[in-house]
Amino acid sequence: MIFIEYNFTVTPPVPWSEILLAKLSQIEFDSFEENETGFKGYILSDNDDEEFINFQISELEEAQISYEKKEIPQINWNEEWEKNFSPIEVDQRCFIRADFHEPNPDFLYEIIIQPKMSFGTGHHETTRLMVEFILDNDFEGKSVLDMGTGTGILAILTKLKGADHVVGIDIDEWSYHNARENAERNNTQIEWIKGGAESIPQEKYDCIIANINKNILMEDMPFYTNALKTGGTLLLSGLYDFDSEDIIQKANEFGLKFDDMKSMNQWIALKFTYE
């Protein structure tokens, strides 16, 4: 396999590196590595779409963005993330670690993951915000759908909090297999589906979780409401603070009532109730 490395230089890097990274996550990049001047992105040559990348850059007129592109040998991704992966503590209640880290019994919930090429290690603000929402809400006996599950962290946490039936869906092949493996590591029984919103089973859920990006969340809103029970909860993230007005307006069109917001470093997570 031949990988392409994109080395993006972004000025100013905050918040535009994160914004560009979120936009590029719509295609099949296998990994991103952030740095002080921007970030590097790695993608299989067969999945490379430079036209799409240039289009996304052209939309960010407020920032100065350039990149260098080169072919690189196959990377041992597990070795790469193990070099830099550190345990995550969320709200002193949830401890997220790899299997080579020592357990921490001081936390109520502990999740063990091996991210491989998947997104959602818990380091990113959007994942942490969603973890906080899950920690703050009751999942005992509930049914849960986790859209864009990534490493499966959010689905696993709802199961640890007592959720009865949990389904995780991701369109990415690596994420699908990685989430399954992580669920087994945490002794949690979760149903995994490879696909998009069209793959949502014909059933109703007490809570739907979607940590993706604004465009997909807006597009898939009717799928979410169709799968929610009356009085059910929708948790959304992968959003910037300036996305809130559009998302809330779109949600209201489908009978969703805005309840709460969490924010961290210009990223937000939103909570809705389906009336």
**DSSP assignment of 208-275, as one string?**
EEEES-HHHHHHHHHHHHHHEEEEEEEEEEEEEGGGHHHHHHHHHHTTEEEEEEEEETTEEEEEEEE-
pTM over 0.85: no
- Measure the CA angle with vertex 176, ends 71 and 215; round to 5°: 75
Contact status, residue 253 vs residue 275, Cβ threshold 8 Å:
no
Amino acid at 150: G
Tokens of 154: 């959010």
Q: For 217, phi and psi rounded to 5 degrees? A: -60, -40
The model's pLDDT over 113-171, given as tens digits with 9 standing for 90+, comes to 886 654 556 667 888 999 999 999 999 999 999 999 988 999 999 999 999 999 999 98
pLDDT at position 75: 62
pLDDT at position 149: 92
- Chain centre to alpha carbon of residue 242: 18
pLDDT at position 213: 83
- Which ranges of the chain have pLDDT less than 70? 1, 74-84, 115-123
pLDDT at position 199: 95
pLDDT at position 174: 78
pLDDT at position 215: 85
